[in-house]
């Protein structure tokens, strides 16, 4: 166990939905900080294998597992396989998710079920399965390092700014993200007794490859213009936060939704510039 609480050396972590985009960026950053990282993917096999090879190249142990996390048995299987490969589990970053931009009157039962199954069932049942592995990991570390208290396991669930602000066409997706925030807060309280912390990362605009494939008019300049901070986010931004939440340095942080969005949720959406000077407001 490292004396540097921000270090991830020796940490054993599973990142779901890591074949592309944010999940891939998170997995790579965790590995750069010293963790051994297992990843899951659904359809992005090439990206997952590239991530594994990149992590191996810097000396980390890594393996990718294919899974449909809308199916509970796959959730259980991938967590068990990751723990077996790694030799235990210190943390899980539940990133896997799907979205669709659809007017509410056009949403079908099939589309609704698919988004809720992956986004909610996937995070819930992967977390459920990971808890036992984390408890056993804590016992193992206690046997090997009796003089050092266990900092605890870490569950990080992926939400979105859509959980707190409306955006046209995202009624189903936003609903899943609100549910993630709610069950994560409850889980954080429930798991204090076994020393496992639960937090939520809620990104704003994070530029991933699908931004360009889904919208031929998208450009980096357009992305930058939509964020108060002046630039669009990138997967590495989420990776830096994930590394902290997986480290022992975050041992006292649990039950929080952390919005990482360049000021997006802090800004009023009213397209109006008030006049300068002091005004009576009450």
Active site residues: 159-160, 173, 177
3-state secondary structure of 16: coil
What is the CA 211 to chain-centroid distance, rounded? Answer: 18
Strands 153-158 and 36-41, sheet pairing: unpaired
Q: Would you say 99 and 153 are in contact if contact means Cβ atoms under 8 Å apart?
A: no
Residue at token pair 């048995």: 73
- Compute the distance between CA of residue 250 and CA of residue 248 in angstroms, rounded to an integer: 5
Geometric angle at alpha carbon 32, from 210 and 81, rounded to 5°:
75
3-state secondary structure of 170: coil
Q: Would you say 42 and 66 are in contact if contact means Cβ atoms under 8 Å apart?
A: yes
């Amino acid at each position: 166990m490292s004396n540097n609480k921000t270090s991830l050396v020796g940490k054993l972590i599973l990142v779901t939905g890591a074949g592309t985009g944010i999940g891939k960026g998170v997995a790579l950053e965790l590995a750069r900080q010293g963790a051994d990282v297992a990843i899951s993917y659904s359809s992005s096999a090439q990206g997952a294998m590239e991530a594994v090879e990149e992590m191996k190249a810097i000396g980390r142990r890594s393996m990718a597992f294919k899974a449909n996390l809308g199916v509970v048995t796959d959730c259980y299987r991938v967590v068990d396989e990751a723990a077996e490969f790694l030799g235990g589990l210190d943390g899980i970053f539940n990133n896997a998710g799907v979205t669709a931009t659809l007017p509410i009157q056009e949403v079908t039962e099939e589309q609704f079920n698919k988004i809720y199954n992956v986004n909610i069932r996937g995070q819930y049942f992967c977390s459920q399965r990971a808890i036992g592995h984390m408890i056993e990991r804590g016992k193992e570390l206690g046997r090997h390092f009796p003089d050092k208290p266990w900092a605890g396991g870490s569950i990080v669930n992926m939400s979105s700014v859509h959980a707190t602000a409306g955006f046209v066409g995202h009624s189903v997706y936003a609903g899943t993200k609100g549910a993630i925030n709610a069950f994560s807060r409850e889980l954080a309280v429930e798991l204090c007794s076994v020393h496992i912390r639960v937090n939520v990362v809620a990104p704003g605009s994070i530029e991933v490859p699908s931004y360009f494939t889904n919208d031929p008019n998208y450009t980096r300049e357009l992305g930058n213009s939509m964020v108060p901070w002046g630039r669009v986010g990138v997967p590495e931004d989420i990776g830096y936060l994930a590394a902290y939440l997986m480290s022992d340095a975050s041992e006292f942080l649990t039950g929080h939704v952390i919005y990482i969005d360049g000021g997006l949720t802090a800004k009023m959406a009213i397209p109006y510039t008030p006049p300068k000077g002091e005004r009576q407001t009450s």
